[in-house]
Each structure stands twice: as C-alpha cells, then as structure tokens.
Amino acid sequence: MSLNEQYEGMDQPAAFYLDVNGSQPYLEVSSTLLEMNRSYIGSGVAEMDHYSPESVVILIVMAVTFIVGVPGNILVIWVTGIKMRRTVNTVWFCNLAVADLICCLSLPFSIANELLHYKWPSDLVSCKLLSSIIILNMFASVFTLVAISVDRFILVVKPVWAQNHRSVLLAYLLCLFIWLVSLLLCLPVFMYRTSVLDGNHTYCSYNYNDQEEDQEEDADYNFSEEGYGNEYGGHYSHDEPSGPHPTSVSITITRAVFGFFLPLLIILFCYVRLTGKVQSGRFAKVGRKTRKVVIAIVLAFGVLWAPYHIIGIALEFSASSVLSRLDHFSQALAYSNSCLNPVLYVFMGKDFKSKMSQSIRGLLESALSDEATRSTGASKSRESGRYSTTL
C-alpha cells in the first residue's frame, strides 16, 4: 500500500502528503485546525485569567481571614498559654485558638485551589489529610465554644459545684475529649475523600463506590477541597447526577446536626438562662457584659455557620448552579469565624486586654532599655501573672 493510500480515509486534521512530481515532501496543515488550536489556547488562557465576582469575594474573604487569623490566634496562644496564669478560662481560649489557627493555616491551599479554578493537582495523601484536618478543626472549634458556654452557665448557676469541681485538670481532659470526638466525626472524610482523575486534571472529591473501577462515576460529586461533596465548582463528568447518595446524605446531615444545630441549641439554652440569672440578685452587675457576649456568640456562630450547613443539606437534593455558587461562598464565610473568634471570645475580656498590653509593653522595654529596666519589667510581668482572666 502506497503512502497516500495509508493516509486516505484517516480523519486527520493535519495530513502529510508526498508530492510525486516534486523532490520535497510538504506538510499541509488545514486552516480549520489552526483556528481550533487558537480557540482552545485562547479559551484556556481566558479561563485561568478570568474570575467571577463571587470568586473574587471568596478570595478576599479567605485572604483576610488568613492575614488576620494567623497572627491573631498566635497572639492568643502566646498570651493564654505563656503569659497568663493557667486557669480554666485560659485553657478554653488556648484550645479554641489552636483549632482556629490550624484552620487558618490550611487556607493557602484553598486559596490556591480557587486561583487555579480547582485544577490543582493533589495526590491521595494530601487530598485525604487536608480535607480531614479542616473538618477536624471545624468540630474542635465548635465544641470548644459549647464548652465555654456550658462552663459560663455552670459558673453562674451552680457556683458551689463549680468551686468544688471546676479545675484546670478537668478543662484539659475535656479538651482532649473534644479533639477525640472531633477526630471520630471527621473519619468519614478520610475514608471517602479521594483524588479523582478527570481528563488532564486531578480533583479532590468524594468516592462512595466500593469498587475502584467505578471511581470515575463518582465525578458527579464536587471537586472541592473542603466541601460537603456536593456539585459546587461547576465541573461534571456526566450530564446529570444520578441523585443523592445515601452515604453522602448521612454524612452531610450528621455534620450539620453535630456541627451546628445541636451546638447552637446548647449555646442558646446556656446564655438565655444565664441572661435571666444575671439580671437579678448578686449577678445583676455583670448583666451588661454578659448580654454583649451573648449577642456576639449568637450572631457570629449563627450568621457564619448557618449558610454552610443549610446550603450543604439543600445541595444534597438539588443540583442548582445557584446553590453551588452559594455553597462555595458559605465555606469561605464559615472560615472567617476562625479569625473573629479571638475578638469575640477573648479580646472582649477586660483582664485579657490589660494583660496583652502589658506583655507587648514588656517586650518593647526588654528590647529598648538597659539591664536594670529589664529586671524591673520582668518583675512587673511576673506579678501581673498572678491574676487570671475572666469574661
């Protein structure tokens, strides 16, 4: 068979022909192929350079959360864990800051994922580990807020019991219990999260199938790094999803119940009862500050976390593109709670603010004064360390 016969009938956009009348072969490239290449390359560049308004807002929220949350939570850990005398309150706030700090430190990966339109190659280990760490610290943060609320409630409602049983050791044990329960609740993420190869890109998604060969069929679920497993991000391997997977629905509802609704009910119960107590009798003088704390807790917890869980449940039963975009934004909104917690739960304490200013002043004196001044400043710092913080 001649060379021309071999290439006849082949659907090639670029064909090689041998000029039998001449001495040099030539390559004939169709103009259609060139236009297709230009269009493909142009669309790829445009896709990487274009960000929708919601993507820009999400990137800004996550960037601000990282910039504010990392130094803010480090400062809280430094003051509560080192500078202040160890009390039950400092244990709570330090544990909360640790959970928030780890969550904030994971944000650069989410920001990179957003910048690359979810086309960020991630191996199986990083996919499972990063997603699990995010959920782990979400639960740890929420449960710590519940512990703070219950502790405040018992301290006011049952002062005698609190005086006899409330201790730093018990607070440490409860923090350990919080992390263990959080680890247990994030196990489904580690089990079902996997890297999915779709075309030339790798995504981090959920795979609820038992057989590895069915993995590609699970590409109907989202390729987000931290999300519920819904179809946010706008990428599908099939035309339509077959419907909500029972395992996915169970994980989503369990996460919403234990990560939002039940903790919210406990927090509301504690602070409603607490507000009633402080408005009368010997607790009346602290009522004003407690009401401010109640408003801050309810607003921050409800406003920042409610969209995340409600939209997550809705997306299990609807493939709406609007819900998918809202789900993406709700995750960034929930992240912002990690940078607001130091302000809402720690910086509102008068004693903490005083101690923090003394600590910063002590560092400046240590760097700018002579040895005699440093000794004086150190003595003042040790003396101020005898006092504990209260909300």
Q: Give the closest residue to 148 by CA, choosing from 285, 300, 7.
A: 300
pLDDT of res. 182:
95
DSSP 8-state symbol, 198:
E
Average pLDDT over residues 189-210: 76
Most confident of 16-20, 93-97, 358-362: 93-97
SS3 204: strand
Q: Give the closest residue to 226 by CA, choosing from 182, 189, 179.
A: 189
Most confident of 75-79, 305-309, 354-358: 305-309
For the full predicted model, state whether its pTM sits above 0.85.
no
Q: Give the closest residue to 194 by CA, choosing from 172, 217, 176.
A: 217
Q: Is 300 left (phi over 0), alpha (psi -120 to 50) or beta?
A: alpha
Q: How confident is the model at residue 113 (pLDDT cuts 50, 70, 90)?
A: confident
Residue 253 has pLDDT above 70, yes or no: yes
Residue 295 has pLDDT above 60, yes or no: yes
pLDDT of res. 353:
60
pLDDT of res. 14:
41
Q: What is the C-alpha separation between 354 and 203, in angstroms, rounded?
A: 48
Residue 57 has pLDDT above 80, yes or no: yes
Task: Kindly report, residue by residue over 323-334, the tens digit of the pLDDT.
Answer: 878 888 888 888
Helices (H), 18-123: 31-49, 53-78, 88-105, 107-115
What percent of the chain shows pLDDT beyond 70?
Answer: 59
Mean pLDDT, the chain, whole residue set: 70
Q: Give the closest residue to 156 by CA, choosing from 297, 344, 284, 300.
A: 284
Average pLDDT over residues 18-29: 42
pLDDT of res. 260:
92
Encoding tokens for residue 204? 């981090």
pLDDT of res. 184:
94
Residue 302 has pLDDT above 50, yes or no: yes
Among 17-31, 60-74, 297-311, name the one with the lowest average pLDDT: 17-31
pLDDT of res. 30:
42
- Kind and range of the H or E run holding 141: helix 124-157
- Residue 312 bridge partners (DSSP): none
Residue 234 has pLDDT above 50, yes or no: no
DSSP-assigned states of every residue in 313-375: HHHHS---HHHHHHHHHHHHHHHTHHHHHIIIIITT-HHHHHHHHHHHHHHHHHHHS-HHHHH
Most confident of 95-99, 209-213, 243-247, 371-375: 95-99
Domain annotation for the chain: domains and CATH numbers? 3-46 (no CATH), 53-348 (1.20.1070.10), 355-380 (no CATH)
C-beta of residue 331 within 8 angstroms of C-beta of residue 61:
no
Supply the angle between the helices 321-335 and 287-316 in degrees, to the nearest 10.
Answer: 150
DSSP-assigned states of every residue in 222-241: ---SSS-SSSTTS--SSSS-
pLDDT of res. 284:
54
Q: How far is CA 49 from CA 44, 213, 329, in A?
A: 9, 35, 20
pLDDT of res. 280:
60
pLDDT of res. 219:
40
